[in-house]
Chains A and B, each alone.
Chain A
């Protein structure tokens, strides 16, 4: 990419380049390495490009992006292509496979990786496989208009004690917050999903171990998640000696206590089954084999889409609060730089994921975005990426407001079957219906207040895994 062009004018330039190419009737010949584009000016028809496949810079094409399906959806890649005319090859894999592919050579021949916070440590911290992203390259990252969940977790999540340090360690490359190790694009506050026809309201992780649900619990079998969930229950019930600051990075002794407890619960028949694959958790709930479990929110949505009611719990304040994690996009070292695609990665992060279109797109799966406080953009605004969420959807997703339409006037039989993808959201201001449908788990600020745990890969991971085999073998 020429020096005269930075990420700030990249999309404008790319759009102009695409238009210029189309007008000149010389659309790219597809595939190849993109050639070496020559450019002049921006935004107008005087831009020329010899890039193949419609690319506008001299980087290798297509862009290579790897990550789990929930973070790397085709819609996001398509939006980037629509905005820049640069093709993106998406490789979806679960987190371990993503780590495996990146660390076994992918970091050299791919441009960017997406991962959740516990999976990202291996790439952006432990193995130096990514390039920190300067916030100066991200126009839409305005600290005043980004949730303080990211800019100032120490104060916003002060109730988490030492855990806030792990938020800062994973997110920021420096104390001055000039570079991000893993720029966030989605996050959520995981909770318990339950079938409201068979379970009364639950608001604590203790429900997973409640005798009245014996044999009907779908228990996640990922050690870095299940152990802290158990610790929250044990800590809240004075069954271990710990404090909330240690929950996401427990000692070996605390791990022992959690695993021993889980083994005893498993042997007592508390769990209907354990799950590691997303689809398994959906099947367990959709087939009513299980009536509650530590689900992901998209899984709860998919349970509803299968016709089984599912409510995502509003968790309590304090020790048994939400399980918070975030997913991000990081340029790979040396791939993004060697393939001359660093600016394109910045553009993908900023223009697509910090733009107006993405918040509404990803909320369909229940996920939130860091720049939701930028209401002028996210709620009622628009930009090159598209329209914002609109007032009704935004207020429903972030403010805890009900829909403008009464539930009786929708096709949904109950709130536990509501699907935001199927509802027609108004783009105009309106009034919330008194018997409208509210989002599970409440307003986002309340959800943040109720975070109990930030999900990371703990320091004692080797010990954790050695003990975890005891649970899986039990």
Chain B
């Protein structure tokens, strides 16, 4: 029997792949896709933000008017409100999402946890609009909760603050996005080597100490990814502020307003770019704190 040389069994090096054009072949479709459907549209949006707006039309003349409006006090305060909402929703989703993920990982079987996680996805089979407006018959003055409270006699008048209020907004956001927090945390927790937990116990670490010094640090990549998902999705959400807030706008509402009232594309473009930059900065900062690539390393 002939002996195989080590070279025969070693996978081709990156350099060899490059030689055969494998990397280019793999990367090119992605690059083309992102160029056509991300970079090019962004470039167009950027160009539009520097154009002149006149009644219902965009004139191809350079103008900074749209960017000046970005520094308006109203826009500034709306941005602040949007970011506060984003942070608040992220915190609430973490508060509810982490226990869900923990339960699914440690209190059910492996297949059971995965199955229950899938159940969390079922509401997403309906449209976001339906899921948002669906809170009206639950939280409204004539809704299920108020009827129940009136029937029990806990209140004499329907509670108005259940709907079209910060409360209903938070309910809407958390219901929509908690799964985006729970899922990556669940994945992160699933990859924790149980021997580490046993070792902590062996070293007389109680449940709290084990959680604090072992489980939580090892689940941080999942927490970070979940936080990125929830933060980005919530500050870009249009449905909840539009249908559950009672009229308080976020930055997405202002973008919608710019287009929907007068077709002011330059204003909408400038606001969109600023929103994108804010998201980019936040995501970048979060990934600097936690190495989210650890979640893929098992």
| A→B interface (CB under 8 Å) | 94, 96, 99-100, 103, 121-122, 126-127, 215, 219, 221-224, 266, 271-274, 276, 280, 283, 287-289, 457, 461-462, 465-466, 468-470, 472-474
Q: Please, which residues of chain A bring their CB within 8 A of the CB of B257?
A: 465, 468-469, 472
**Could you tell me which residues of chain B, from 50 to 106, have a CB within 8 Å of some CB in chain A?**
53, 55-57, 69, 72, 74-75, 77-78, 81
Whole-angstrom distance between the alpha carbons of A114 and B244 in the complex?
31
Chain B residues near A271: list those with CB within 8 A. Answer: 246-247
Q: Tell me if B215 counts as interface (CB < 8 A to partner A).
A: no
With CB as the reference atom, state the residue of chain A lying closest to B143. A287
Which B residues touch A100, using CB under 8 A?
A: 259, 263
Q: Are A274 and B246 in contact (CB under 8 A)?
A: yes
Q: How far is the CA of A274 from the CA of B262 in the complex (A)?
A: 19
- Interface residue ranges of B232-257 to A (CB < 8 Å): 243, 246-249, 253-254, 257
Given contacts A289-B141, A466-B69, A469-B254, contact A96 B163 (CB under 8 A): no
Q: Which of B15-23, B132-140, B189-197 contacts A (4 or more CB under 8 A)?
A: B132-140
Q: Is the CB of A469 within 8 A of B56?
A: no
Name the residue on B nearest A466 (C-beta): B69
Residue B264 at the chain A interface, CB threshold 8 Å: yes
The 7 closest A-B pairs by CB, nearest first: A122-B56, A274-B247, A472-B249, A96-B260, A273-B164, A273-B246, A473-B78
Residue of A126, A273, A274, A462 near B57 (CB, 8 A) is A126
Q: Restricting to B122-145, which residues have a CB under 8 Å from any CB of A?
A: 133, 136-137, 140-143
Q: In whole angstroms, what is the CA distance A276 to B258 when docked? A: 14
A271 to B74, CA, bound (A): 20
Q: Which of B78, B164, B243, B259 contacts A272 (CB 8 A)?
A: B164
* Alpha-carbon separation in the docked complex, A409 to B146 (Å): 36
Contact A223 B55 (CB under 8 A): no
- Give Cα distance in the complex from A127 to B54, angstroms: 10
- Indicate if B13 sits at the interface (CB-CB under 8 A): no
CA distance A415 to B132 in the complex (A): 33
Judged by a CB distance under 8 angstroms, whether B28 is at the interface is: no
Determine whether the beta carbon of A221 is less than 8 Å from that of B262. Answer: no
CB atoms of B262 and A465 under 8 A apart: yes
Contact B261 A223 (CB under 8 A): yes
Q: How far is the CB of A217 from chain B (nearest CB, A)?
A: 11
* Interface residue from B78, B140, B263 paired with A289 (Cβ < 8 Å): B140
Task: Let me know if B293 is at the binding interface, CB within 8 A.
Answer: no
CB distance from A262 to the nearest CB of B (A): 10
Of B75, B246, B264, most buried by chain A (CB within 10 Å of CB) is B246
A90 to B221, CA, bound (A): 51
Please name the residue on chain A nearest to B259 by beta carbon.
A96
Number of residues on chain B facing chain A (CB within 8 A): 36
A266 and B75 contacting across the interface, CB-CB below 8 Å = no
Known: A121-B55, A126-B55, A289-B142. 18 other contacts (CB 8 A): A100-B259, A100-B263, A127-B57, A215-B160, A224-B261, A266-B247, A271-B247, A273-B164, A289-B163, A461-B262, A462-B262, A465-B261, A465-B264, A469-B72, A469-B249, A469-B257, A473-B248, A474-B248
20 CB-based A-B contacts, threshold 8 Å:
A96-B260, A103-B56, A103-B57, A103-B263, A126-B55, A127-B57, A219-B247, A222-B261, A271-B246, A276-B260, A280-B243, A289-B140, A457-B55, A465-B258, A465-B262, A466-B69, A468-B257, A469-B72, A469-B74, A474-B248
CA distance A472 to B260 in the complex (A): 13
Contact status B254-A473, CB under 8 Å: yes
Name the B residues within 8 Å of A272 (CB-CB).
160, 164, 246
Chain A residue contacts of B247, Cβ below 8 A? 219, 221, 266, 271, 273-274, 472, 474
State the CA gap A287–B146 with chains docked (Å).
13
- With a cutoff of 8 Å between Cβ atoms, the chain A residues found around residue B75 in the complex are 469
- Chain A residues contacting B141 (CB-CB under 8 Å) are 287-289
Query: CA separation between A287 and B77, bound complex, in Å?
Result: 32
Cα–Cα distance between A122 and B55 once the two chains are bound (Å): 7
Chain B residues with CB under 8 Å of A224's CB are 261
B residues near A273, Cβ cutoff 8 Å: 164, 246-247
Candidates A122, A274, A287, A461; contact of B140 at CB < 8 Å: A287
Closest-by-CB residue of B relative to A308 is B142
The answer to whether A472 touches B133 (Cβ under 8 A) is: no
CB closest chain-A residue, reference B77: A473
A353 to chain B, nearest CB (A): 25
In contact, A283 and B262 (Cβ under 8 angstroms): no
Please measure, in the bound complex, the distance between the C-alpha atom of A457 and the C-alpha atom of B78, giving whole angstroms. 26
Query: In the complex, A121 Cα to B243 Cα: how many Å?
Result: 29
Q: Nearest Cβ distance between residue B80 and chain A, in whole angstroms?
A: 10
Per-residue interface assignment for chain B, residues 10 to 44, with 1 indicating a CB less than 8 Å from any chain A CB and 0 otherwise: 00000000000000000000000000000000000
CB-CB nearest in chain B for A119: B56
